[in-house]
Amino acid sequence: MNPADINPPITVLVVDDSVSVRKALERILAPQGYLIRMADSAESALENLEPLPDLVLADILMPGMSGLELTRIMSDRGLNVPVMLMSGIVDEVTQRDAQAAGARGVLRKPFTPAELLPAIEPQVMAALDARAQRDGALTQLDDLARRTA
């Protein structure tokens, strides 16, 4: 899969309180063809979710709301957006908590592009499937509306 060939581009929302982490992820992902949006907190991410991103990469430990809480809220709202969490410490408890919150996985920071890109690819594929389902449902609604108008 080449993200640069996908139109509209795959949107990744990066949520981290560290400017350097947000910029590093942008430097890794943007040249691959991903459209990057950034938020410096989970609260800011929730306020600016529209239009929905295709993937969320969120730090677990942030001031205020954690990445785990962000993931739970998105799941509770029925938002079908894959979330990958990031943390400097990834142990069994972290993995279990992330899975319980609805995250698709946890990336150990720091990570290299060679670790990041393969880790997010399955989530991107799931996001593209969800996008296709949404687009198909919208097309069916448009067809139905035209027939009944």
Q: Which pLDDT band, with edges at 50, 70 and 90, does 86 fall under? A: very high
Q: Which pLDDT band, with edges at 50, 70 and 90, does 146 fall under? A: confident
pLDDT(135) > 90 = no
- pLDDT in the model for residue 18: 97
Reported pTM: 0.86
Residue range of the domain that includes 69: 3-148
- 128: burial class by Cβ within 10 Å (0-12, 13-18, 19+)? middle
23: domain CATH number?
Answer: 3.40.50.2300
**DSSP single-letter state for residue 32:** G
pLDDT(133) > 70 = yes
- Please indicate whether residue 82 or residue 129 has the higher confidence score (pLDDT): 82
What would the mean pLDDT of 12-23 be, rounded to a whole number?
97
Containing 37, the helix (H) or strand (E) segment is strand 35-39
- pLDDT in the model for residue 138: 61
Q: Which pLDDT band, with edges at 50, 70 and 90, does 110 fall under? A: very high
**DSSP single-letter state for residue 9:** P
Count of domains forming the chain: 1
